[in-house]
Amino acid sequence: MQSQATPADIEGVCAKIVALGFKPHIIPGEQRTAIGITGNPGPIDPAEFESLPGVADAIRVSKAYKLVSRETKREDTVVRVNGVPVGGERIVLCGGPCAVESREQILESARAVKAGGGELLRGGAYKPRTSPYSFQGLGEQGLRYLAEARAETGLGVVTEAVDIESFDLVESYADCVQIGARNMQNFSLLRRAGRSRKPILLKRGMSSTLEEFLMAAEYILAEGNYNVILCERGVRTFADHTRNTLDLSVVPAVQSLSHLPIIVDPSHGTGKRDKVIPMALASIAAGAKGLIVEVHPTPDRALSDGYQSLDPQQFAVLAEECYALADLLASRRRVPLAVD
């Protein structure tokens, strides 16, 4: 739509889409609103829409994924999590433990993240663990502790929903619901996330291609939730010096194909504490809109992923260096990052 299009213009286009028997998707933008169309069995003649009031352009989307595509919406999407804009000019840092272990542990973590300069708090109350005998999370009690940490620090809460059964509960406490790597192609869970009013953090599956990743996001948008943040967290390769291989080339690749913001998880992406800060910096250099990092008050005593968790001092160093790098890049950048 044109930037000066009125709500009535948008309504008019949607009414026409409905009259044709298709589904309209109003994807808001900072400058312009895009309206996606799904449910059409074949091509639609763009001329049907070009002359409607407020329409700037009618574009036939060539990609298999439609609503996440930059063809549908050229402008970057900015997703607000508890008021924090993810995908805008500033990078956003989200920190916290792998799992919520106790009230004290999550409160201490939240204070450390806040003091270090983070804006969002992570922590799993429901954990997807490789072994059924490993700590599975505190469940609703963990969600209550996260809410308490938010009330004290003001940090928005990002926490994972591992299944449909727990989704309602997680959604009621979270500011952003995480869908983990192991669930990236859990299509019923993606559909449920698409019916949520909360933003979704979608992590890339550990062996998924870029197209599969974008298609997973498409499931969420297709149900009407346009607030999706993508997250690269490393993929499986032959390399065994790290837990996963952080595929940073996916950052500019996503940015040329999709308007959705992408952040990076250098904790799961490396699995090793001493690799987290270097790869965090590399992520920012590659154009990531933010980071999600594991931080624990006493990493050596963590119930999960301690070996990749930073202590509060290390998180403060990461934040200081990443903000400095982002500022430097913003001040030096003469041309926008590649979007073809």
Q: How far apart are the first and last CA of the chain?
A: 21
Size of the site for ligand PEP (CB under 6 A): 11
Residue 218: contacted member of Mn ion, ligand PEP, none (CB under 5 to 8 Å, by partner type): none
Cβ-based neighbour number of residue 149 at 10 Å? 26
Question: Per rule CB under 6 A, is residue 306 in the interface with ligand PEP?
Answer: no
Helices marked H in the chain: 7-19, 47-50, 103-116, 140-153, 164-173, 187-194, 210-222, 250-257, 266-270, 273-285, 312-332
- Smaller CB separation from ligand PEP, 214 or 235: 235
**From candidates 25, 150, 192, 268, binder to ligand PEP by CB under 6 A:** 268
- Binding at 232: pick from Mn ion, ligand PEP, none (beta carbon under 5-8 Å per type): none
Residue nearest to ligand PEP (CB): 180
Minimum Å gap between C-beta 241 and Mn ion is 19
| Nearer to ligand PEP (CB atom), residue 13 or residue 100 | 100
Exactly one of 98, 162, 174, 201 binds Mn ion (CB under 5 A); which one?
A: 98
> CB of 134: closest distance to Mn ion in angstroms?
11
Single out the residue of 10, 155, 181, 276 in contact with ligand PEP (rule: CB under 6 A). Answer: 181
The residue from 97, 142, 180, 271 that contacts ligand PEP (CB under 6 A) is: 180
Task: Give dist(CA 303, CA 136) in Å, integer.
Answer: 10
124 binds, among Mn ion, ligand PEP, none (CB under 5 to 8 A by kind): ligand PEP
CB atoms within 10 A of CB 284: 24
Q: Please report whether residue 203 would count as binding ligand PEP according to CB under 6 A.
A: yes
Tokens of 141: 């009690």
Closest approach, Cβ 234 to ligand PEP, in A, equals 8
* Residue 26, strand partner residues: 35
Which of ligand PEP, Mn ion, none lies near 266, with the C-beta cut-off 5 to 8 A by kind?
none
Residue 189 or 295: the one with the smaller Cβ distance to Mn ion is: 295
Selected range binding ligand PEP among 70-78, 139-147, 165-173, 178-186, rule: CB under 6 A:
178-186
Which has the closest alpha carbon to 68: 255, 217, 212, 250? 217
Which residues make beta-bridge pairs with 156?
120
Q: What does the alpha-carbon distance between residue 305 and residue 189 come to, in Å, rounded to a whole number?
A: 25
Question: Which residue type does 93 have?
Answer: L
The residue (of 54 and 312) whose beta carbon lies closer to Mn ion is: 312
Q: Which stretch binds ligand PEP (CB under 6 A): 145-153, 175-183, 255-263, 277-285?
A: 175-183
List the structure tokens of 151.
């009330």
Phi then psi for residue 211, to 5 deg, are -65, -40
Closest CA to 158 of 208, 217, 216, 231: 231
Segment near ligand PEP (CB under 6 A); pick from 31-39, 84-92, 176-184, 314-322: 176-184
- Return the SS3 of 146: helix
> How many C-beta neighbours within 10 Å does residue 11 have?
13
Give contact residues for ligand PEP (rule: CB under 6 A): 98, 124, 128, 160, 180-182, 203, 233, 265, 268
Give contact residues for Mn ion (rule: CB under 5 A): 98, 305
